[in-house]
Structure 1
Amino acid sequence: MQATFPSLGTENQSPYQVESRREIIALLRGFKEKNQLISMYINNGAEAFITSILDVDDTNNTVTIDSAASNEANQRIVEASQVFFDGLLDKISIQFSSSKLQKSIFEKRPALLMPIPVSLIRLQRRENYRINTPISNPIKCQIPLEVDSSMQTGKFSLVDISCGGIAILDDQRLLNISIGTRYAECQISIAGIGVLDTMLEIRNSQDLTLLNGRTTRRIGCEFVNLSSKALTNVQRYIMNLERERNAKMTGIS
């Protein structure tokens, strides 16, 4: 029976269920080899953690994932009736779930262990695919907002970008996350492209606990009335970022 996953994106999604064991193992190993982070949800999405796949053992039919920062959080995870996972791999969202997580040790570090899922969901964003933005030198988005009855400019790091919008991190929880809230005169500074002027509309939000125990809030925002020139610049940036990553993967300098 197909599970219901927490919705993270704003784009229309066309789900495809994958049941080939060989393909499932290949996709899971893709997360490990490319060091892609995965969101892990319990309690129907009320709690979220950022994790990664440490090992895929097809002989023992197990997947090892990084544990949460606290013993209390790990206990809630293993006691959860269902744990959902969502990650982005090669511009495609991969989603799966398990009800059989247990505590483990991997390379002398605490970890979580689960069976290789018998099926997963592969969601292709047909209109606008997301691409993760650099972590080491994050893109900043400036959003004018009211703080203590005065107007200030908040600076937020991007998580990903598409031609339809962006996801940002709001560590201090400054933004109104009510769906439909709009912020005008926002600016996104993109290296090699310039400053992108846009209005943003809040579409979704999720409180996250990172592996180091720090909490943050991920907010999905949609571009409103983006100009043709700005859209072209976003497309150019995505293409450049994809080209750079492909070059690194193939060893081309």
Structure 2
Amino acid sequence: MTQTDNAALKFELLQSDDFGRYLLRDRNEIIQVLRQLIAKRAMVTAYLSGGRDFLLTTVLAIEDEDLILDVAPDENRNRQAEAAEELICITQIENVKVQFPIMGLTSTQFEGAPAFKTPLPDRLLRLQRREYYRLIAPVAHSLICQIPVPAEDGPTNTFEARVLDISGGGVAVIVPPEGVEFKPDTEFTQCQIQLPEIGTVQARLRVRNLFRVTNRNGISMLRAGCEFVDLPERVASVIHRYILKVERDRNSRERRL
């Protein structure tokens, strides 16, 4: 079995206007999420000590203060996992991404079969289902958000940020490498996004959260989740029309395959 690329992304929550919405530290809340993983038999990607190597497993049970995990068919990978000081576990439940660290694995038995056990995690990152449907920006034509930032002693500078996804409620963008500061509650006015074959929309953005995202290839980027502020209905309608168009085009291509 394989994990989807989205599920395999590693997230590090750097800043947020509401940490509790994403990062759970309450033991009962963490156990509740882990029990959902057990019930769904969700496949978990466990990255070894921050590297690219990973173990595919499932959460089998919770026993006292321990988490019981399935072993992999690859004995060499099992030995590597058992030798690792820390593993980062990544999965998803009904499109909600879940990530948590585990500190060391030891061999055990579960229902007569080999398994791993590890102490229950003390924190768990949960990227909750968004209020709005979000469209992953098409690869064929990248969306760029133009962000004007007034200079203290000169003309306004405009920075470009690639859009990762877009909805009627906001956008997620890759933070430009320099020149503009992103942190929760920062607002940018008169931002513009060119929507191919639809038109240009202008909106005010407020930063809600900041994540460091690392893919399986070890490439890292900063991702800022931004909401639209006081978005006019006509602009929301243009965004909705664009989303519908992209979805229709995707469905049409899939039917031809």
The TM-score range, normalised by the shorter chain, is 0.5 to 0.7
Contact 2:14 2:210 in 1 (8 A): no
Does the alignment pair 1:144 with 2:161? no
The residue type equivalent to 2:223 in the other structure is R
For 1:10-89, list aligned pairs within 5 A.
17=33, 19=36, 23-25=40-42, 28=43, 61=70, 78-80=84-86, 83=88, 85=90
Distance in structure 1 (CA, Å) of the matches to 2:256 and 2:247: 13
User: Hey, what does 1:135 align to over in structure 2?
Assistant: 139
Post-superposition CA distance 1:172-198 (Å, at most 9, x none): 143322321111111001112210110
User: Hey, what does 2:25 align to over in structure 1?
Assistant: none
Does the alignment pair 1:218 with 2:235? no
Does the alignment pair 1:94 with 2:111? no
Structure 1 residue matching 2:183: 3-state secondary structure: coil
From the superposition, tell whether residues 181 and 124 of structure 1 become closer, same or farther in structure 2 (CA, over 3 Å).
closer
Select 1:163's aligned residue among 163, 168, 171: 168
Moved more, 208-217 or 13-22: 13-22
Distance in structure 2 (CA, Å) of the matches to 1:122 and 1:176: 23
Does the alignment pair 1:245 with 2:236? no
For normalisation by structure 1, the TM-score amounts to 0.58
User: Hey, what does 1:201 align to over in structure 2?
Assistant: 206
Contact 2:164 2:173 in 1 (8 A): yes
Shift of 1:156: 0.9
Shift of 1:95: 1.5
From the superposition, tell whether residues 179 and 57 of structure 1 become closer, same or farther in structure 2 (CA, over 3 Å).
closer
Moved more, 173-182 or 92-101: 92-101
Structure 1 residue matching 2:171: 3-state secondary structure: strand
From the superposition, tell whether residues 88 and 19 of structure 1 become closer, same or farther in structure 2 (CA, over 3 Å).
closer
Does the alignment pair 1:181 with 2:186? yes
Structure with higher Rg: it is 2
Unaligned runs of 5+ in 1: 30-37, 43-47, 65-74, 103-113
From the superposition, tell whether residues 139 and 88 of structure 1 become closer, same or farther in structure 2 (CA, over 3 Å).
farther
From the superposition, tell whether residues 148 and 87 of structure 1 become closer, same or farther in structure 2 (CA, over 3 Å).
farther
Contact 1:184 1:199 in 2 (8 A): yes
The residue type equivalent to 1:132 in the other structure is I
Shift of 1:147: 5.7
Structure 1 residue matching 2:41: 3-state secondary structure: helix
For normalisation by structure 2, the TM-score amounts to 0.57
Contact 2:167 2:239 in 1 (8 A): yes
User: Hey, what does 1:109 align to over in structure 2?
Assistant: none
Post-superposition CA distance 1:185-229 (Å, at most 9, x none): 110011122101101111111233455554421111110111111
